[in-house]
Structure 1
């Protein structure tokens, strides 16, 4: 019994020392500055040219109602609507959505025809 009491502290000291291996320097080495190179200038990309029939995206909520009504009159698909008005939330029939009132025309509840094209709807 006495021998085990003497060996316990010795074992714990050895276990602690075994975990003190080479963990690296005890100081933080000074950072060496990286060699500087001339900044790379990206090539200027040409301005995107809208393809005939492809709508130019209108960002933000709808403010020009005449242009929006003209776009809806073309009976766009949901994908075309999302491409033309990426910031307006399109709610299709059968989609789950809350019915809170938005006065900024940022959410459009669409009505679809049998082919899946948008024929009308309303902002809410």
Structure 2
């Protein structure tokens, strides 16, 4: 008797078809193309509210009046005022935008340093 291939049964064909469909459904779709290319923004535009002290003489004269921390923040809104005991990040700033204040016994600013 010659070797003749046996035809696949209908249930076997059905399972092969289901397996092929499931394998095709599991392939991930490629992400959609972005509408606009991504751009890296400079650090200056990421923090628009931060501005450093330009006139150190006027700043020192204001500190000499022993302002409250609230008055210091109101006069220089772009300045980050760090009070004793507060936790602040330590990123490197060269624009005089963070001032670590020293307070007297009444809670008024008597000095400090830029960091």
C-alpha separation in 1, matches of 2:92 and 2:66:
25
- Which structure is higher in helix share? 2
Q: Structure 1 stretches (4+) deviating beyond 2 angstroms? A: none
C-alpha separation in 1, matches of 2:51 and 2:103:
23
Length-normalised TM-score, structure 2? 0.55
Length-normalised TM-score, structure 1? 0.51
* 1:100 to partner: Cα distance: 2.5
What SS class does the counterpart of residue 52 from structure 2 fall into? coil
C-alpha separation in 2, matches of 1:101 and 1:115:
31
What is the correspondence of 1:1-124 to structure 2 with a 5 Å cutoff?
60-124=51-115
C-alpha separation in 1, matches of 2:92 and 2:98:
9
1:54 matched residue in structure 2: none
C-alpha separation in 1, matches of 2:84 and 2:51:
23
Structure 2 residue ranges without an equivalent (≥5): 1-49
C-alpha separation in 2, matches of 1:103 and 1:119:
22
The count of residues paired between Structure 1 and Structure 2 equals 66
* 1:104 to partner: Cα distance: 0.1
C-alpha separation in 1, matches of 2:97 and 2:51:
8
Cα pair 2:69 2:109 within 8 Å, conserved: yes
Structure 1 residue ranges without an equivalent (≥5): 1-58
State the superposition RMSD in angstroms. Answer: 1.2
